[in-house]
Amino acid sequence: MTTQNESPKEESSTFVRPKKKLDWRMIAIRSGVAAGVTILVCIFILRPMIINGSSMMPTYSSRGFTFGFLPYFKMYAPQRKQIVILKHAGFNTFLLKRIIALPGETVEIREGTVYINGKELEEPYVKYPCDWNMSHREVSKGKIFVLGDNRSMPMENHMGGLINQNRLAGVPIW
C-alpha cells in the first residue's frame, strides 16, 4: 500500500540526463583502435581458419571453423598425437595434421597400423579403415612426421609425412 510519504521519494529517484552530443571524433578514433587491435590479434595471435578438406575427419569435418593459436610453439614443444597447424606455402594456406613421430624416432606403417620405434601406436582417433604400408624411416633432426586422422584414401592422395619443424604455425583452439 502506498503511503503519502513514499511518493515524493520515488519522484526524487528519477532524473532526466541532459541530452549529450555524440562526439563523432572520439567514436571514430575508438572504433579505429578497436579494429586495429582486432586485426593484429587475428593476424598474430588467434587466426580464424576455415577447414577445407576431409583429411582430419572425423575429428574435424570439412567446412568447419576454428581459431589457430599461433604463439603456442614459442612456449611449448611439439608432442606426439597433438593436432597442429602447419604453414604450407603462400600466405593463406595452412595444413591441419596430427603429429605422429618426433625427431630421432623411426616410423613405419604396416596394414594401416603405425609403429614408432617398432612399437605399435594406439590411435583411437582413426575411425576409418586404412591399409597403408610405408617402410621404416627415421625422422631426422628438425623434422616431424604428421598424418591426418582420415586415412581411408590411397596413401598417394593423402598430404602427410615429413615436414620441417619450422613450419609449425600453432594449434587449433578446439
Partner 1 sequence: MSGLRFNRTKWIALVALILITSAAVWFFYFRTDDATAVRSRLREAVAFAEKQPKGSGMNLQGAGMAHGLGDFFTAETDIEISGESRGQTYTLTAATRAQLISSYFMLRPLLTSLSVSLAEIEVTFHDDSRKAATVECSAMATGFTQNGDFFREGRLISAEMVCEDDGEWRFRSLRAEPVISFD
Our CB check for partner 1 shows the closer of 9 and 21 to be 21
The residues that touch partner 1, with contacts defined as CB under 8 A, are 21, 23, 25, 86-91, 93, 95, 134, 146, 155, 159-163, 167
149: left (phi over 0), alpha (psi -120 to 50) or beta: alpha
Please give the DSSP secondary-structure letter assigned to residue 128.
Answer: S
Our CB check for partner 1 shows the closer of 23 and 122 to be 23
CB of 90 to partner 1, least distance (A): 3
CB of 20 to partner 1, least distance (A): 12
Our CB check for partner 1 shows the closer of 7 and 36 to be 36
**Residue position matching grid coordinates 605422429:** 100
The radius of gyration of the chain's CA atoms, rounded to the nearest angstrom, is 27
Our CB check for partner 1 shows the closer of 168 and 171 to be 168
Number of DSSP helices (H) and strands (E) in the chain, helices first: 3, 11
Residue type, position 125, single letter: Y
**Residue position matching grid coordinates 586415412:** 151
CB of 87 to partner 1, least distance (A): 7
- Interatomic CA distance for residues 61 and 53, integer angstroms: 8
CB of 114 to partner 1, least distance (A): 13
Dihedral (CA of 123, 125, 131, 133) sign? negative
Our CB check for partner 1 shows the closer of 86 and 130 to be 86
- Interatomic CA distance for residues 101 and 135, integer angstroms: 14
CB of 108 to partner 1, least distance (A): 12
